[in-house]
Amino acid sequence: MKFDEIININPIAELSVTLFDILLFLIVFGLILIILNILIQIYKKLMIHITEKTKTTFDNKLLMGTLSPLKYFSIILSLFIACSLLFPDFINFELYSLKQGGITVGHMFLILSIFGFTYLIKSIVYSAIDWYKDELCLKSRIKFDSQMIPILRKATAVVIYSIGIMIALDILGIEIGPLLAGLGIGGLAVALALQDTLSNFFAGLYMITDKPISKGDYISVDNLAGYVEEISWRNTKIKSWENNIIIIPNSTLSKSTIINYTNPHKSVIRILKISVSYDSDPDKVIKVLKKTIDSVGQKDDTFDKSMQPIVKFSEFMDSAIEFKIIYKLNDYTKRIAFEDTLKLEVFKALKKNKIEIPYPIRMVYMRDTKKR
């Protein structure tokens, strides 16, 4: 049945109902509703008594999740029983007349029951999601981001209620095929119009689930460095050293090369290069540099003592020979202060031991061509 097949609407006023009938209906409805709510309270106490004996919290969450749908069902059932007892003809009363049959009050009760059932299914799924988040993720130490739960809950609600609406339309005799086709074409148009937004959304979903970065991580992206402040469904906010917020679209971030200095741990191995004159004694240079890094490392908590620093000859350069100091720090973000002190002490040690730090040198040979 299509939407344009509706002919007319029958007014409720065609029914002969007195004020006494309405008052009696309200009294019967109220009594039935009270009885059903008493039964719900008995069910709640009985289930609480049973769930307290179990080790898992899933049954507790499931119980609390089903209470609201049961209260909804109690209202619908009370209305249906009261109407059936006092106004049996009202159940078959046509609200809408169609070319092929009509929509009666009984159909409306059935549709309300279907929505109540979808509400119950949604509550059960919500209970399972909350239980997974609160119990399984904590025990297995899985970092389940708080931003993922609302997305999952909303997606679940949309799917469940969409199925309920399609079942309700089918009961009313409305053809859902053309409706689905129209929604498909409309959805394609919307998807093309919101291509960038959807790209950022799915990239954000990837960032939240796969977790290449997390809130609080210190990262570097395309020469931009800072702490991750927030990962939303559309963009990621990074706080730089200058105390500025850098906003990067998730689609751009997912295509970039990310250096995470916090994950899997904050410690990092660093290398300091020092160039000295070719006239220097390599053994003496290594000894001086080793003594300097040991002295600086003992005074600074940023230095990771789990790894012994390494001083080694690196390579021959154009105007100098190069040495490397390889050491480990327990936090990359604290490297600037430590390395500033280290460079200053290395400079002082080289000066004190009369080890020359050469300037770049180029030797130019002049040839006299007149003698030829």
What's the confidence (pLDDT) of residue 346? 93
DSSP 229-292: EEE-SSEEEEE-TTS-EEEEEHHHHHHS-EEESSSS-S-EEEEEEEEE-TTS-HHHHHHHHHHH
* Mean pLDDT on 23-35: 89
- CATH dotted code for 268-352: 3.30.70.100
pLDDT > 50? residue 157: yes
Task: Indicate the range of 36-45, 61-70, 190-199 predicted with least confidence.
Answer: 190-199
Q: Where in the chain is the domain with CATH 2.30.30.60?
A: 206-260
The larger pLDDT score, comparing residue 173 to residue 163, is at: 163
Topology classification of domain 206-260: SH3 type barrels. (2.30.30)
Q: For the CA atoms of the chain, what is the radius of gyration? A: 38
Q: How confident is the model at residue 4 (pLDDT cuts 50, 70, 90)?
A: very low
- Give per-residue pLDDT as tens, 30-59: 999 999 889 988 888 888 888 777 777 777
pLDDT > 80? residue 141: no
pLDDT > 80? residue 140: no
* Cα–Cα distance for residue pair 322/312, rounded to 1 Å: 9
What's the confidence (pLDDT) of residue 192? 59
- Give per-residue pLDDT as tens, 232-281: 777 888 888 788 888 888 888 888 888 888 877 788 889 999 999 998 99
Question: Can you give the pTM of this predicted structure?
Answer: 0.49
Q: Where in the chain is the domain with CATH 3.30.70.100?
A: 268-352
* Cα–Cα distance for residue pair 48/61, rounded to 1 Å: 11
* Mean pLDDT on 356-372: 71
Question: What residues contact residue 170 under an 8 Å CB cut-off, 6+ apart?
Answer: 176
**Number of other residues whose CB lies within 10 A of the CB of residue 350:** 19
What's the confidence (pLDDT) of residue 21? 75
Question: What residues contact residue 247 under an 8 Å CB cut-off, 6+ apart?
Answer: 235, 236, 237, 238
Per the CB < 8 A criterion, the answer to whether 36 and 74 are in contact is yes
